[in-house]
Amino acid sequence: MSSKEEPVSHSRRRLIRNGMQVTLAISLIGIAGRTVLKSASDDLVWQLDPFKCVQCGRCAKECVMSPSAVKCVHAYALCGYCDLCGGYLKPDPNARTTAAENQLCPTAAIKRKYIEDPYFEYVIDEKLCIGCGKCVAGCTSFGNGSLHLQVRHDLCRNCNECAIARVCPSEAFSRVPSHKPYLIKGDFKKG
């Protein structure tokens, strides 16, 4: 007889989350700054709405960049820091460990770090991430949906016609203002 409400916070984890949020914010602001400079003449850049994305795999395959300019990002404020993380572990893993056979990510781009019993932190290594969305699907199904995909504007070439947008089955791509180039979960509300 439970409800569907906002996640629960915890002082120590909140501290960590805040730290991570700041880090994420700084990196995104930095990237956003570069993007604005890069495309001073362009007012709009491509971005995807994580609430529309159905993790079809095309972000990994269709981008003109290789690896894709789409990466997984983590909304730490939404994360449950679960031991049994649906985004990190394969369905029904042999054990909840960092062994390759237990990891869901095809490129081992997610790093799992013990915080305190029973909490773990998950960090994306963007150099390894190919934007396949597999972890996003796992986290959305069995976690809080804190992992999600975003076009990273330090990598995106802002093609005239985004090759992914053309084939995205959920019409998740749109042009957004270059001064607000990210649609980060937790920063904006669904609908």
Site of interaction with ligand SF4 (CB under 6 A): 46, 48, 53-56, 58-59, 63-65, 69-70, 72, 105, 107, 109-110, 124, 129-135, 149, 151, 156-159, 162-164, 168-170, 172
Per-residue x/- marks for other proteins, 122-161, CB under 8 A? ----------xxx--xx--xxxx-----------------
Per-residue x/- marks for other proteins, 50-69, CB under 8 A? -----xxxx-x-x-------
116 scored as a contact of other proteins (CB under 8 A): no
Selection from other proteins, ligand SF4, none that 186 binds (CB < 5 to 8 A by kind) is none
Neighbours of 138 (CB within 10 A): 21
Selection from ligand SF4, other proteins, none that 109 binds (CB < 5 to 8 A by kind) is ligand SF4
Yes or no: say if 120 and 93 are a contact pair by the CB < 8 Å rule.
no
Q: How far is CA 182 from CA 4, 42, 54, 85, 112, in A?
A: 26, 16, 18, 25, 25
Q: Report the SS3 class of residue 110.
A: strand
- The stretches of the chain forming alpha helices (DSSP H) are 11-38, 58-62, 134-142
Calpha distance 95→19 (Å, rounded) = 29
Strand partners, 72: 149
Binding footprint of other proteins on the chain (CB under 8 A): 1-9, 55-58, 60, 62, 80-86, 91-92, 104, 106, 118, 132-134, 137-138, 141-144, 166-171
